[in-house]
Amino acid sequence: MRRGDLEEFIGDLKGPVDTFAREAAVRLVLLINGSGQVLAQRGFARALDVMGVAALGAGIHASSRAVAQLLGMPGFKHLHQGGAAGQVFIGPFQTPSEELILITVFGEDSSLGLVQVFYARLVEEVQKLPGWSQARPTTDAAQFERDLEAGLDHFFGAT
């Protein structure tokens, strides 16, 4: 997403992301695009954590897509990793504007089924938002790094 689009379109994502986090009872939520640009977040206290999770999430998504294509599939519906202390869910979805990736961490207060139900609702809500329901031009290579940083600046107040 281009830097100039951030204020107009990212603000629309706050409501659906907050509703998802509350209803699915998750600890952390991060919504990024395929490049790892942060579009919405909830539960993170430090920009460094957001940046790390966004980069890892985009990399995991790209790698899993490549594996799926080797298997003759267009991609995985979602990825899930369960653990003793918490679980991670990574769900990519397409909007007319661009592909988005939801990354969420949850614990005993939630379940994979609950996360999947509210993930489906989030996808429907986001796809209907005015800024995400139509195609927009993407950034060029020279602007790419500044656009990634702009996403973090938006959430953590850097100028």
Q: What is the pLDDT of residue 137?
A: 60
Dig out the tokens for 14 from the structure. Answer: 């706050």
> How far is the C-alpha of 91 from the C-alpha of 65, rounded, in Å?
12
**What's the angle, vertex CA 88, arms to CA 39 and CA 134, rounded to 5?**
30
Is domain 3-156 given the CATH code 3.90.180.10 in the classification? no
Q: What is the pLDDT of residue 159?
A: 47
| Ordered per-residue pLDDT tens for the chain, 159 residues | 455 566 667 888 999 999 999 999 999 999 999 888 899 999 998 888 999 999 999 999 999 999 999 999 988 899 999 988 899 999 999 988 889 999 999 999 999 999 999 999 999 999 999 877 767 665 554 555 555 566 556 655 654
In the chain, where are the structural domains located? 3-156
Q: What is the pLDDT of residue 126?
A: 93
Q: What is the pLDDT of residue 47?
A: 87
Q: What is the pLDDT of residue 9?
A: 73
Q: What is the pLDDT of residue 151?
A: 57
Dig out the tokens for 53 from the structure. Answer: 């999770």
Tell me 115's DSSP state. H
> How far is the C-alpha of 50 from the C-alpha of 110, rounded, in Å?
22
Residues in the chain: 159
Other C-beta atoms lying within 10 Å of the C-beta of residue 120: 12
Cβ atoms of 98 and 138 closer than 8 Å:
yes
pTM > 0.85: yes or no: no
Nearest to 149 by CA among 54, 20, 76, 65: 54
Rounded to 10 degrees, what is the CA torsion of 137, 7, 26, 55? 50
> How far is the C-alpha of 121 from the C-alpha of 155, rounded, in Å?
24
